[in-house]
Every structure is written in structure tokens, then in C-alpha cells.
Structure 1
């Protein structure tokens, strides 16, 4: 089947590749301007304005282009008083690398995907007035702000938290796509638009559509919820909620509240598929709740330090979920890569410490010996 190419609103769309590219005419036009601009460090304001007006037209179809405009915009703003346009402005060394990047034709013709990139890692970040803390899969980090940083706004803190997180986990995320989950709308918007040098070509940060780290999508939740009814889904978004009433880590039009860890679970029947790094905190909160029953989806990992507390709250025999090779991440649509390590099961827990029957203990002993 031949690739179909369509031209629409000044861009070429290749449906078979599912990519959009800039038109050849516009690429040749900006390359011509860049050649003239690089011929001499001192250029008239009119050429500066012409170049900066042409660059945004390519911003949606050239990866990282917004970021590579910043040095030119800052240089012009610092050297021109927005008066006479016949003056010459000298671009400095900070602009040279960005200008050279714009001049590379293969960079202008690489295009962008029409669908969202599949993330290799899921990074959760948060910041407060005292410090920051990220979680990448099973890895965690934290740090305190310096005195000067504490004086900045929370928006600045959230952006710095992302920067510190990427620095901490640089060995894992370099040359990979990272789904960034942040509860600050301004920070996410800023990063999506490439407005800050926190992002780089080695760390592509995109706002994922699901904040909950849920490794797969399967048909069992509906069956489990019929067997063990629940009223609230504690860790969900509008893309993967299992119950009409759910808590979401981000503001959403359909969620009843934000952040399940900040609200009472007393006298509730809840369903939870939390990020694995939060399992210990979930168990601690359940232990301090009153008259709460939880259907928890989490791995069978006896070596983890939270597993003894886990068994103390168990009221029924767990249901182990099958290792289906077609299990997929909700919305991201890619196959899970290590199902044998996952060993997912549905566990029925209670805030009251139950008296586990001998048969249940024997079954759990058999599971532990496998």
C-alpha cells in the first residue's frame, strides 16, 4: 500500500507514517533567512523580527523549536529598546548553538507524530515550600530547597522539582520518552510548550493522560467489583476510572475529589490500584481508618517490607490475575514488558485486623513457598 500524502494548512501529512511535516517551501524560506543571519553577527532589527516571525510557523512541526527560539528572543529584548528599527543587534554565543540547530535541514524535516508518543517511564513530581520529591517507577528521591529557592513561587518550585527529578534519574531517562505527571497546571503547560530549558532532546517530557501508574488494562475489575462491591475508586483519572465516583490526583470535571491520601476513608468500601511506590502509605492509611474495606490490586511481592502488614489486613483468599500477553497500559496502548515479575492479584483488606482462619493461613503459606 502506497503512503498517502496530503497537504493541509501548510503542512504535509503522511497517513501511513502517521507523521506531519513542514512544507518544502517554508523550510527553504527559513534556511535562506538563517544563512543571511549567520553571515554576520551584527544584523538589522528588521531581519531579527523577520526570522523570529518565521520560526513560530514551524514550531508545531519541528521538535524543540520553541526552546531554541528563547535565546534569540532574550538577546533581542536585552539589546533593543523597541524604538528605531534601522539599528544593528549583535547576536552572542548563547544564540549560536540554537541558530546552528535551526540550520540543520534534517532537523527541520524530521516532522512530528500525529499520535502521542509511548512513554518508556512514568515520572511523578511534587514540590512544597520546603522541598521536592519525585518517583520514577520504583525509585524515589527527595531534597530541600536552598534559602533563595524558598523565596520563589510554587510554580517555579514545581518546575525546579521536574528539573531535579530528571537530574536524579538521568541514567534511566536519557534517550527515552518520559510521561511526566505533575499536579501544577502551569508547569505542565509550560513544559508542553517547550518554554523552559528543563527539557532537552534527551529527555522528552510529555504530560500523560493517566496519572495513576496502572500497568495494564484487563476485564477483571468489573468481575471483582461484582464479587466485592465498592463505592469509590481511590486512584483514577477520567481515562481509567472503574467506578462512577473516583478520586483523581489532578483537577478533573468528573472526579469527586483530588488526592485520595488527603481524605478520610472511614466507613467506605473502596477499590484501589495505586502506584506501587505508594502501597506502604496506602496500607498505613487503611490501618488508621475506621470500618473500611478495600479491594486492592497490587503485585504478589513477598520480599517487600510492606508485605507482613499487608497480610495482617487480609480477609479473604486473594484472586491472582492471569499472565495475559496482551495486557496493555490504559490509553498509552503498549504491552507490559515483564508480566512474570508483576504477579498481579486482587486482595481484600480491612481496616480491622481480622482473625485469619487456618485454611487461609495455609493457602498463603503455600503461595509464599512458590
Structure 2
């Protein structure tokens, strides 16, 4: 149990009761008027909470500290998440963790999901039914005994409780369908026949799967898999790991909805080793895929029904729960890039923190020689393909400005760039691999104006699609920053 306590000064008596002794530790302002709360005859839980404190319930002891878990979001999602945190801080529902406590405790990710009415909603990465809800549900189940007669209201109440638990019960919708169909077969009106009593027959015992031990205690730790498909191929992301594939000629003839659902299936199979035994959330920009996963099939398209049937049965063995959520195409940048044949060799972007360190060591560059709007670190840049670049395309075909330049270019472009630096006496910060065996490396050494600086190794050292797609092997590059000057 985790206890939430607050020591406060005693307020003036605003409810007409006696003021508690100042030597007593008050849990809240309400505890000062415990006598009045007893007079109201509330539930024992309310009296206990007022008299002592509120206890946050954990089904099991939280795991030991395994490192700080960071939640990374972008643009609109970052604003919404910050507003949520500010709101919780203002309500004193959470507090800033002191520096002395950062290396202990248990951390959970926060992420955002789209709302049905538009916009985004922040949710934590873990969900579990409280003991009170589980006990209430089991109490309702015990009333369904063969031969008993129950009010239609009680049957609807059980259905409502089942529906509220589908987010944390594996195949919850599927488990309640048979009982739901049996209830609808009575053709009763929820507003007119609430008090009508119905017999509990053998066909009503379709609720037996809900009595399985442990069904309601599995909870959820959500692993997110983002997928996308195009007529060319498919791509997916999970925990910064990426995968992509290309469709066969036969698969390209399929409907795009079929390809999107197939992409989700292939992605789940690929990431199965890290998803095994977890609750999985599939993010896709295809609403049909979301419907066929969350509604556990459909009736309009037979090929999609067959594919979703195979997917759901396979997932029921591998995962605790599978859900899907819709994401706008403009926010699904990583999988979209992968499904279109990416990542592109010329579009890698250095991490902004590394770039800031380079500026601190060698000075801030003003012109980027090989960049695009997605990976430029300078307001002025030349581009290889973007005709709207501020300085135009093909830096080697134009005179370079007389200012500090920078370049993070393709390996095959390093030699021409070095020749330009020597011939035009330019000042350039070059980010390139430390490969002494290459013929251009000796040229770099001859142009050095300061000691090279090795970029620290990190998983997201260079990335694409707004940081969603990272290079799989950044250690192979051994990137260094070189300050070069052509001799006058």
C-alpha cells in the first residue's frame, strides 16, 4: 500500500464541530469533523478514509527500481501531456520527485491516444481493476444460479460491468458476446421492463468464462506498436525498434485495408519476442483496422474477417490483450516512412544535444551544405533534392558563403567537400566517421584546425521522421566532428 498523507494547520471551525487538539496529526481537514461524518452514517470505507488516510491500492508489490523511464512525445502531444502534469501538480495528486529519491521507486510511462471526438487524451501505461470493482463483479455473478429468477435490471447491470472491463480482460468483447445475444433475444426494453424477472436457464450460464480465477487480475502494461502500409510495402515501430517489408506482386493487388491489417499482423509477429505476455496497443492511421481489431472481426468484408480471425486467435495465445487506436496520418511519420521504402540514406539527422555540444566547442555554424527541412540545424542550407531550400540545391555547384559552414554528408561526398575547403579556403565543421583506412581521412588530418571531438554514443544519435526512426547500428560510424580550414 502507498499512503497519501498531508500535515496541515488546523483551520477555523467552518462546519460547526469541535476543533481537534493541535497535538493530533491531522490527515485532512475532514478528519477534524469525524463526529459529524459518523452522524451522517456513511459507508465504513468513507469513515475509514476520513479518519486515517486514503490508500492507493496495488495488486502486487511494485517491481524494484530498474532505471528511470522517460516518456517521449512530440508537438501537440507534448503540450497536452504537460497540461495534464501541471493539472495533477496543482491538485496535489502528484509531486516533483526530489533529487535524493530519483534512483528508487517504480516509473511508468505516460502516452497519449486519440479521443473519439477528436483531440488527444493522456493515459498511463498501466491499468488494473481495483479490488472493489472485482469484488462487486463477483458478487453480481454469484446471483446467476441455475433456476433463479432475476430482474432484467440485474442482467443489464452485469452486461454493463462486463463492458467496462473489456480494456483489461483478454478477449473481453468476445467473452461477453454470447451472453449479450441471449439477453437481446428477450426483446425487452431497458426503460420499460427493468423490474421484469427472467429465469436463469442453462443457456444463461454463458457467463462461465468470467468466473475463471485470475481473469480480472491480469491488468495491463501497454506495449505500443505503430504500423502503416502502402501499395509498395509496410513498416512498423516498437520501442524505437523498426521493421519494414515489401509486398509481392500478388499482395499489391489486394485492397489497401487488407494490406493495412496484414501489416499489423506481420509487425506483431516480428515483435512477438518483446511483446509476449503483454497488453499490446496497435496504432494505425487506418480506421478499418482499428474496427476489425477492437470489434474482433466484422461482417462486411469476408477477406478481412478471415485475416482478423487468424490475427486475433494468434494474438490470444501470445498476448494478454490486443487493442487498436487510430492516429492521424500526419502523426504516424515513422511507420509511413518505413512503408514507403525508408529510411533514406541522405536524411539522417544528428541529435540536437550533440549539435549543441559541437557549437559550444567549435562555434555555431551558419550554413548547412547538405540538408533538408527535416534535418537542417542551420536556418540557411543547401539541399540535394529540395528546390525550396533557402540557398538552392547542390552546394558543390554554387559559391560557398564566407562564413562558418557545417556538413553531415554522404560518405561519397566527403572527398569533393574537402577539395572545395582546400581550394576556396573555407572554414567547415565536418561530421564524418573515424575511418583512418579511407583515402580521404589523410586529407581531413591535413586540414584540421582543432582537435577532433568524438560524438558520444547513444541509441538515437541519428534519426529520421522526427526522431521516431533511429539508426540500428550507430556504433559502426564512430562519428567525430572536425573543424577544418583551408590554408591561405
Q: The TM-score by the shorter chain falls in which range?
A: 0.3 to 0.5
The normalised TM-score by structure 2 is 0.38
Q: Which has the higher contact order (CA 8 A, sep 6+)?
A: 1
Based on CA coordinates, which of the two structures has the bigger radius of gyration? 2
The normalised TM-score by structure 1 is 0.47
